[in-house]
Amino acid sequence: MQAYLDTALMGPALLLLLTVAIYIVILIVFIYARMKYQGGLIEQVIKLIIGTIGFLLVSDIALFLTPGYGFLTAYTVSVIFKIVALIVLAIGGLRFFVR
């Protein structure tokens, strides 16, 4: 039974690793872009994107807590960080409308 369970969890774990790897690549690209485009509106937008992607990355990493803490706890933490990422994006976007 344990071997079947390990095999059944391998697919979702690989997909989570793939999404985490994609988030890390996106972060590296935007961190490089932030160094290239310092100052002004473009740097602020890049910082906003980095913050949002960072919280989405933490949200997906939280799903790796499933074996230790259970699915409900890991999913709750994941949803909380996704909500924080959307709030960061919304508040950052509103700051651009104020100008």
Residues 80-99: pLDDT tens digits?
999 999 999 999 888 888 76
Q: Rounded distance, CA 76 to CA 52, Å?
A: 18
Q: How far apart are CA 19 and CA 12, in angstroms?
A: 11
Task: Print burial letters for 43-68: b (CB count within 10 Å at least 16), e (below 16).
Answer: eebbebbbbbbbbbbbbbbbbebbee
pLDDT higher than 80, residue 3: no
Provide the residue range defining the domain that includes 17.
2-98
State pLDDT tens for residues 30-58. 999 999 888 888 889 999 999 999 999 99
Helix, strand, coil distribution of the chain in percent, nearest 5: 95, 0, 5
Q: What is the pLDDT of residue 80?
A: 96
Task: Report the domain count for the chain.
Answer: 1
